[in-house]
Amino acid sequence: MSGRPTRPRRALISVSDKTGVAELAGGLADLGFELVSTGGTACALREAGLKVLEVSELTGFPEMLDGRVKTLHPAIHGGLLARRGVDEAAIEEHGIDWIDLLAVNLYPFEATILDPDCTEERAVEQIDVGGPAMLRAAAKNHARLTVVCDPGDYSRVLAAFRNDNSTTDLRRELAAKAFTHTARYDTLISNYLRDNLTDPFPDTLVLAGSKTRELRYGENPHQRAAYYRLPATEDTGIAAANQLQGKALSFNNLADADTAIQCVGAFQDCACVIVKHANPCGSAIAATPQAAYELAYETDPTSAFGGIIAFNRPLDATTAQEIVNRQLVDVVVAPSVPPPARDALAARKNVRLLEAEYVPADRSSGLDLKSTAGGLLAQERDTGRPEDRELKIATRRAPSTNEMDDLVFAWIVCK
């Protein structure tokens, strides 16, 4: 690698997610790197048989405040921010050691707040301060050093050093990733602290989705597309769907399946909804999934062709076989699909079969967003139901009980 310093290179490693860290550190040690680490990471590396220098030995200052202050020290940030050809005199004057590689990932704040029993005190203790500060410092100085925050990049970094490749482009890419990582982390914290505030519309709206899949194309074949999952969301809905069989989900499949899941989740009774082109073309409630499906299908058999079928109850084998016998279908989604139902649908190998917990209407949260050219429209989610509000009869004849039930049903489907 061009411009390699004659002194031993130094790597600072401090990670909460220790996946692959021993392999990374071992590879760096083989390449002549001196390893510096903190607390639990240092213990893990020593257990792997590696020689590690504690951060406190580098700073001359012990960890304090129950670990809240470990790396917030000029000896660390000077070593990260120092520029080659500019800051040598200052580094030498203050006895600071250069740091050439930083591997950091952050306290598991997201996993912590997803725990239903999480208290605010516990959540606050999982707000990482030193980690983001180091990531930002190293990413700012990516012209000189390498920063890595994703265990998935460890092998790429090692390969670049082992092959003596120039890492200029890789360093820039990883620096961008580090800033994205800290931005997402800060967004999680900001959203958590805003949760109990009465105004749902902050002055600055920050989104921090994580790409979960590349799509073959968008709404049309000439459009590129991807799917992003928003942070700190429950394992419900299309975002958490588990695909059991079939071709890869398309942009339109995901959009239609989301519509179907949200619609079927609005019913407490056993329900089936069939969606085509983002609109319900058949929907019904009944005593069983099979009966609900048959009624939904009979609403409009022509539009149901090639549609998306969603249930809010487990899919049984009899209903699955009925679908196979009756129609061509793109996607079938249910909260669970036992093996007999999977076997019935296996005959249609291209059918995308999904398990996804529906989202009950009264648990829908967050903002409903729609994009415009250069902006976003934001509104509260529509969780209201007709029985929750005063219904005014505008005709001379009041609806019968059955007619009112039908109107409420239609209102739920149409909203």
Distance CA 221, CA 377 (A): 26
Q: What share of the chain has pLDDT > 90, as a percent?
A: 40
Domain with CATH 3.40.140.20 in the chain: 232-361
Q: What CATH number matches the domain at 10-194, 3.40.640.10, 3.40.50.1240, 2.160.20.60, 3.40.50.1380?
A: 3.40.50.1380
Bridge partners, 213 (sequence order)? 227
Distance CA 361, CA 30 (A): 56
Q: Please tell me the predicted confidence (pLDDT) of residue 387.
A: 67
CA distances from 175 to 2, 364, 369 (A): 19, 36, 30
Neighbours of 82 (CB within 10 A): 19
The active-site residue out of 140, 177, 247, 415 is: 140
Q: Please tell me the predicted confidence (pLDDT) of residue 209.
A: 85
Contact 188, 163 (CB under 8 A): no
Domain with CATH 3.40.50.1380 in the chain: 10-194
Phi, psi (rounded to 5 degrees) for 290: -60, -45
Q: Residue 12's closest CA among 48, 49, 56, 47?
A: 56
Please, which pLDDT band fits residue 130 given cuts at 50, 70 and 90?
Answer: confident
pLDDT digits (tens, 9 = 90+) for 69-83: 777 788 888 889 888
Contact 352, 306 (CB under 8 A): no
pLDDT digits (tens, 9 = 90+) for 6-41: 577 899 999 988 999 999 999 999 998 999 988 888
**Fold type of domain 232-361:** Cytidine Deaminase; domain 2 (3.40.140)
Contact 35, 28 (CB under 8 A): yes
Mean pLDDT of 340-363: 85
Q: Is 277 a catalytic site residue? A: yes
pLDDT digits (tens, 9 = 90+) for 74-111: 888 888 988 888 877 887 888 888 899 999 999 888 88
Q: Residue 319's closest CA among 357, 272, 356?
A: 272
Residue type, 110: E
**pTM of the shown model:** 0.76
Q: Is 370 a catalytic site residue? A: no
Q: Please tell me the predicted confidence (pLDDT) of residue 65.
A: 72
Mean pLDDT of 205-210: 84
Q: Which long-range contacts (CB under 8 A, 24 or more apart) does 30-38 make?
A: 31/158, 31/161, 31/162, 32/8, 33/8, 33/9, 33/100, 33/101, 34/8, 34/9, 34/10, 35/11, 36/10, 36/11, 36/12, 36/99, 37/12, 37/13, 38/14, 38/63, 38/70, 38/71
Q: Which long-range contacts (CB under 8 A, 24 or more apart) does 278-287 make?
A: 280/413, 281/307, 282/307, 283/409, 283/413, 285/409
Indicate the average pLDDT of the chain.
86
Q: What share of the chain has pLDDT > 70, as a percent?
A: 93
| Lookup result for tokens 């920050």 | 206
The active-site residue out of 51, 94, 277, 349 is: 277
Q: Please tell me the predicted confidence (pLDDT) of residue 8.
A: 79
